[in-house]
């Protein structure tokens, strides 16, 4: 459903070079790499927000560079670190804007859908609150609800767990698994290598704009690779909760 071929992007002096990947419905791709390696730039390039110098991005068989805005909204959603809506807007209005390209004509059905989304993200009590009143975690959840309300088959998450406490962080991964079961494809920028190992089907590792590894997380994210990539010392322990290896850093 997502195919990236020899993608080259130039933003100021920064370049992303030679990215190739394929992602099927129901799969989660983790994007990892040191700060400034190009992860957000890569995500935004998939939405054609940065000029693609060469290569192609195909989403659901359509060239992403040729999509109209509403076509793009039906096929792909970005949960960005950058919060662009006005802070005077209410939570309900924010989530409702996600429906512009997919709204049905049945007003009752729309209301029921939005109610269910707000409940799923524990936002019912905040529904009429201006975004300016929300805590960092509540705001992040409101944007997450908006991303899911768009109902696209591909969702791009730029550091989705920022500001979330442990409970909502765990909930985010539940939502990710829910999206996977609903046969959606997800691309997630991940900073915690353990999350990549547990939740991602594939990983793309960037360093200074170059794809240095792409494949199955367990094959790529070995202890020595992680130590070398992030210049940290890593220890491996067995998580007593599930018997799985876990990195400490
Ligand atoms: N519009 C722009 N003009 C010039 N440079 C840019 C622009 N956008 C991004 N960059 C540069 O591109 C590089 C990659 O940025 P990007 O945000 O993609 O990194 P990242 O891997 O997501 O980083 P982080 O982990 O810190 O969020 C950075 O050095 C950044 O300063």
Pairing between strand 62-63 and 210-215? unpaired
What's the pLDDT at 17? 96
Protein residue closest via CA to atom 25 of ligand 1: 35
What's the pLDDT at 149? 92
Whether the complex's predicted ipTM is more than 0.90 is answered with: yes
The parent domain of residue 233 ranges over 2-248
- Residue 228's domain is classified under what CATH number? 3.40.50.300
- Dist. CA 43–CA 113, nearest whole Å: 28
What's the pLDDT at 88? 83
What's the pLDDT at 84? 64
The pair phi, psi for residue 18, each rounded to 5°, is 65, 50
Report the domain count for the chain. Answer: 1
Low-confidence ranges of the chain (pLDDT < 50): none
Residues 80 and 99 sit within 8 Å (Cβ to Cβ): no
What's the pLDDT at 82? 65
β-bridge partners, 62: 59
Residue matched to tokens 């190992």? 197
Protein residue closest via CA to atom 30 of ligand 1: 36
C-alpha 92 to ligand 1 mean position (Å): 31
Rounded to 5 degrees, what angle do the CA atoms 155, 156, 159 make?
Answer: 130
Per residue in 13-37, pLDDT (tens digit) is 999 999 999 999 999 999 999 999 9
C-alpha 185 to ligand 1 mean position (Å): 24
What's the pLDDT at 8? 97
Pairing between strand 185-189 and 154-157? parallel
Angstrom distances, CA of residue 216 to CA of 42, 101, 119, 196: 19, 34, 34, 10
List, chain by chain if needed, residues with CB within 6 Å of any ligand 1 atom: 11-12, 14, 33, 35-41
């Amino acid at each position: 459903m997502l195919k990236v071929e020899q993608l080259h992007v130039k933003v100021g002096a920064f370049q992303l070079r030679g990215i190739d990947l394929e992602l099927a419905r129901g799969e989660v791709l983790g994007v990892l790499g040191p700060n400034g390696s190009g992860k957000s730039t890569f995500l935004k390039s998939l939405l054609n927000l940065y000029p693609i110098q060469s290569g192609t991005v195909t989403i659901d068989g359509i060239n992403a560079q040729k999509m109209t805005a509403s076509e793009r909204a039906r096929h792909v959603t970005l949960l960005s670190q950058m919060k662009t809506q006005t802070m005077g807007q209410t939570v309900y209005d924010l989530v409702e804007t996600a429906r512009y390209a997919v709204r049905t004509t049945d007003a009752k059905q729309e209301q029921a859908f939005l109610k269910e989304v707000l409940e799923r993200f524990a936002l019912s009590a905040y529904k009429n609150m201006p975004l300016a009143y929300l805590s960092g975690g509540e705001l992040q959840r409101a944007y997450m609800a908006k991303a899911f309300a768009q109902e696209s088959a591909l969702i791009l998450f730029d550091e989705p767990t920022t500001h979330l406490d442990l409970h909502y962080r765990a909930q985010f991964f539940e939502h990710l698994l829910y999206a996977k079961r609903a046969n959606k494809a997800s691309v997630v920028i991940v900073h915690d290598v353990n999350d990549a190992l547990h939740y991602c089907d594939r990983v793309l590792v960037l360093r200074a704009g170059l794809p240095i590894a792409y494949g199955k997380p367990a094959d790529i994210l070995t202890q020595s690779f992680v130590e070398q990539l992030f210049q940290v010392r890593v220890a491996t322990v067995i998580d007593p909760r599930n018997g799985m290896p876990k990195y400490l850093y």
